[in-house]
Structures are given as C-alpha cells and as structure tokens.
Structure 1
Amino acid sequence: MEAKQIISYIIVPETKSIRAQFNDNGECHSLILEGDYTFKVDMKPVEIIDESLKYYGFDLNGAISGSRAILGPCKAVPVRIPGEINMYWFPHTSPGQEECVWFALHHVEAILPENHDLSKVYVSGGHCFKLNAAEKDLTYKYDRTEKLESRISKRTVNTFSFIMERTTSTYTVEKGKRNYIITRKKDK
C-alpha cells in the first residue's frame, strides 16, 4: 500500500520518527511514523523539526543553541520541542545530512547492535529501523537526550522549600498568588 503524501507536517506526541526518502529525481522528502501510520511529507526531516519548533514559538537554531548551553559543545545536538508537547528529539547523525533520521526520545524502546557500524533502533509499536551507525554512538545520543530532558526538568519544576525554627506552635502553609504564605495557628 502506497503511503499517503502531504505537503507539510507539525510533530505531535504520537510522532515516533522522521526519516528521509528520496524520489526518482533525487529530491529529499520525509517519511513520518506517527502511531501505526506512515506517510510522506514534501519537506526534509530537518525542515519538519524546524517548522514544528516554529509552530510552538521557537526555531531550530535557538533549540540547538539552548541544548548546547545545557550540555556543552556537541555535534548532532538533541532538541526539545517545548510547550504542551514537551518532546525531546535526537538525530542519528548530523542534521545537515539529508539521510539523517530523527527519533522521539519517549518512543525509543531499544538500540541494539547489528554489527560494527550497523544498528537497529526499536520504537514503540514494534517498529524497527536499521541504521548505518554504531550502537554505542546511537546509545550515546539517546543518553545525551535523556540528560537534556533531566536537566531541563530540574530547572523548570517548581520546588518549594523553607526552613523554620523548631517550636511548639503549629503552622500552615498555603500557596498565595506569587509566594507561599506561612501562618501560625493561634492557641485556643
């Protein structure tokens, strides 16, 4: 069955991977795996990542710059698509290479070696991608993406802590508009 073809695409939480496909004229397009469906998009994989970031108010250069600020200098940088979608994506090779495959971190289930420079990436739903990349390289990119997710999560989660002297009084803590309000219960 021929995959359906569309003009443009924005990543959704069910999107598992974006990979390149070349037509008879050698033009690069994308194959999207979303849920159990595969379809073609008239955009390069890196263009889909960039357009999805723009849709949510960011862009690829900014996402790469932000990731590098958190992770340090690196190549094939993972990116976060922020907002309600809050997904983390990593490329299997340099995004500048047209044959680059992008994976959604939360859909990757396993990365296994096939031989020295060939690996299999399993994503949710039982789908498998055979890639010309060493398992250790792909695992490193996966781990680096998890590290990015962990660091951003630690920075964005609201934490609440306070120190009080030990007394015999009872206090209540309530969330106010901008701060927490601590009040002492009066003895009766």
Structure 2
Amino acid sequence: MEKKMILLTGEYDGYGKLCARVMAGGVSFLVGRSPLQLLNDALTYIGFDLKGAIGSAKLILGERSRCPIIVNPYQGICLFPNKSPNNADCMWFNPDHIVNTRAMGRYQTEVELSNGHSIIVDSRLTSFNNKIHKANKLMQLSMKRGNQPGPILFYLESPKGHQLTKEKTGNYNFNNLEDNHK
C-alpha cells in the first residue's frame, strides 16, 4: 500500500468474482483479489498479516469490531472500514485523504477526498467521524509505542572488568551478574 491510496472497496467483476476497487490519487483500478486478500497481501509483503494487524488494533484500542488497522507502519498508512469488513461493499478509508465530512440526512455522510472527489456512504456523520478519530488514535499510539523501549526492556550498567566465562557445567556464569545487581 502506498501513501496515495485513498480507499478500497469490494466490487464484483464481469465473472462474479469479488475484487478490490482501489482509488489512489486521481485514478481507480480493479485488482483480482478481494479487499481482505489484498490487505493481507500488502501486510504479508512487509512481514505482517491481517489477523495480527486486527488483533493488535483491538488490543491497543480496546475495541471488539470494525477496528482500523495499520497497513504499513513504515509509511504510516492506517485504514478503517466503514462497516463490517466481511461485507463485500465495505470501504476501507485512509484518514489522511479525508478532507471533510458532512451529514447528508440522518443516515448518510458525504466524504470529501483529497483528490477533489467526494463519496456518499451509508453512515451517520458522528459514527463516521468517530471511525476517523479511532484510526488517527491507533496510528498515534502505535507510533509512540514504536519509538519507545518496550515494557520488558531496561538498561543496567554492567560491572567493569567482569568477564563471562563458561563453567564446568557448560553454562555461562550469568548468575554472577544477578548477584552483583542485588
């Protein structure tokens, strides 16, 4: 996935196969994979997977369903679904490309995109804006966590002049370090 990717959604091709319609910049194109397959492919390419991305997002945000996911942590790309990802017509939006939102009646929202186009989705304005907020929060928290040492990492100044040696048992004398730390 690239930074210019605005959204992706499911669309059936002429043979009835569920494909992914991708909007990137001012163009859109059809990919012969379902949206979930395409997302998993993109994550697998950089060493992750969709199941892990969803699980991590749920854990970080404390949500149960319809969580945003980080599709590329290196480029800071996060996407959120406008409805259940299991629905063929689910749209995955990149919040970086949403310029504005406004209500279109009670149950629809017009989403103004960075490429000058807009799209109307079946979602209340407050619900859609909340999804944008969650996606931004996920990206923010993940970036913060990625730039800090983890909870199990810490720094200890090693004693000067201590050499680790192999004992007769075949183990190194790491326990001497523990004794020196007390």
TM-score bracket, shorter-length normalisation: 0.7 to 0.9
Alignment partners' CA distance in 2, 1:19 and 1:64 = 18
Preserved CA contact (<8 Å) 2:9 2:89: yes
Percent of counterpart pairs with the same letter?
A: 23
Residue 75 of structure 1 corresponds to 65
Q: 1:124 to 1:66 in 2, by over 3 A?
A: same
Greater shift in the superposed pair: 138-147 or 21-30? 21-30
The CA distance in 1 between the partners of 2:62 and 2:73, in whole Å, is 23
Give unpaired runs (5+ residues) of structure 1. Answer: 1-10, 160-177, 180-188
Paired position in structure 2 for 1:93: 83
Question: 2:123 is paired with a residue of what secondary structure?
Answer: coil
1:29-85 alpha-carbon deviations (Å, 9 max, x no partner): 221111111111111112211111111111111001101111003311100123432
* Aligned 8 A contact 2:58 2:65 in 1: no
3-state SS of paired residue (2:142): helix
Amino acid of the structure 1 residue aligned with 2:135: T
Matched, 1:57 2:47: yes
Partners of 1:56 and 1:83 within 8 A in 2: no
- Does residue 1:13 correspond to 2:3, yes or no? yes
- RMSD (CA atoms): 1.9
Which residue in 1 is equivalent to 2:104? Answer: 114
Task: Kindly state the Cα deviation for residue 25 of structure 1 after the two structures are TM-superposed.
Answer: 4.4
Deviation at 1:24, TM superposition (A): 4.2
Structure-1 residue corresponding to 2:133:
143
Unaligned runs of 5+ in 2: 150-154, 157-182
Match of 1:40 in 2: 30
Determine which structure has more spread, i.e. the larger CA radius of gyration.
2
Residues 25-34 or 106-115, more deviating: 25-34
Scaled by the length of structure 2, the TM-score of the pair is: 0.76
> TM-score with structure 1 length normalisation?
0.74
Q: 2:43 is matched by which residue type in structure 1?
A: L
Q: Distance in 1 between matches of 2:9 and 2:63?
A: 25
Shift of 1:133: 1.5
